[in-house]
Amino acid sequence: MDIGIGLPATIPGTPGTQIMQWAKTAEERGFSTLGVIDRLVYGNCEPLVTLAAAAAVTERIRLMTSILLVPFRANAALLAKQAATVNHLSGGRLVLGMAVGGYEDDYAASGVPFAGRGRRFDAMLDEMTSIWAGEPRGVAGAIGPQPGVPPERLIFGGHGERPFARVAARGAGWIAGSRGVETFQQGAHAVREAWTRHGRDGDPRLMAQPYFSLGPHAQADAESFLTDHYAVEGWDAQKVASLALTDTTSVRKAVAAYKDAGCDELILFPCNPDPHQVELLADAVL
């Protein structure tokens, strides 16, 4: 199982220099992937812009939106170009994780209807896939840069029949959120069933992204950040905070549990933006 790490770009107030130092240290310590989480109405950095910056200070590590909330961005052609640009600038290291998102304030701020977002997502995927395939759109031909984002780098999130069918029909795999290994197991089983129904060869890539926080103030840091970030979910914010991995033992147990459950890659997201967290996590799991 590959072990990746999230960038602290989700944590409000984290300086850009600190995010870049985190990216460089993660690559040096051998993590597989740098992940970014998306929200609009929050104090986080925009995911694709953040990954473009991370690409400039790294050479080998994968760069993943885990996940990018697509439908409130509305302009599929522009989004396809932005993603293709990050993939181009990084030398083909972008893994584009996508989903619809479930927070109405993100959509209201974009002036995009919350209702029908799943249908809008599928329509946008049709357009983006055609653009990445090089279909002409005007006098100059295709929207570049080419070759865009290949199908084997498309990962989808979400739970339910429609998201799982989307994985099987259009993607290379699925990523679970931060709700624990049992939730991952349930989703992974459903994804595999959908994969088989669609006649796909091989196996879907299965991923998950728990939160971690290490060091003397780990529990307090996790609760402070996660209850704020997930405040939009009301009481469920406390549940997310309670699942954070806040010591070396719990991190190692979680890694073993996800591996046993068939996870192909675990991307651990931070609750503390101090770059020393990268070293602590690497010492624990790599």
At residue 99, the pLDDT reads 97
pLDDT of 178 reads 87
pLDDT of res. 162: 93
Burial class (CB in 10 A: 0-12, 13-18, 19+), 273: buried
Residue 117 confidence (pLDDT):
96
pLDDT of residue 173: 97
Is beta strand 136-138 parallel, antiparallel or unpaired with respect to 141-142?
antiparallel
SS3 250: helix
pLDDT of residue 236: 82
Q: Rounded to whole angstroms, how far apart are CA atoms 34 and 30?
A: 11
The Cα diameter of the chain in Å comes to 60
Q: Quick check: 188 and 176 in contact, CB under 8 A?
A: yes
Cis omega (within 30 of 0) for bond into 67: yes
Is residue 76 a contact partner of residue 47, using CB atoms and an 8 Å limit? no
- Looking up tokens 């796909």, which residue turns up? 200
User: Measured in whole angstroms, how far is the alpha carbon of residue 83 from the centre of its chain?
Assistant: 14
**pLDDT of amino acid 132:** 97
Q: Give the Cα separation of 185 and 218 in Å (integer).
A: 27
Domains of the chain with bracketed CATH: 2-285 (3.20.20.30)
Report pLDDT for 239. 87
- The residue ranges of DSSP E strands in 132-244, in sequence order, are 136-138, 141-142, 154-157, 173-175, 205-208, 211-212
User: Residue 184 and residue 189: Cα distance in Å, rounded?
Assistant: 9
Q: Which pTM was predicted?
A: 0.96
Query: CA angle 128-132-137, nearest 5°?
Result: 75
Going through the chain in order, the beta strands assigned E by DSSP cover: 2-6, 33-36, 62-69, 94-99, 136-138, 141-142, 154-157, 173-175, 205-208, 211-212, 265-270
d(CA 149, CA 76): 13
Low-confidence ranges of the chain (pLDDT < 70): none
Residues 237-255: tens digit of each pLDDT: 888 888 999 999 999 999 9
What does the pLDDT read at residue 241?
86
Question: Which tokens hold the place of 28?
Answer: 């040096």
According to DSSP, the β-strands at 173-175 and 205-208 are: parallel
pLDDT of 250 reads 97
Specify whether the CB–CB gap between 183 and 160 falls below 8 A.
no
Q: Specify the 3-state DSSP secondary structure of 173.
A: strand
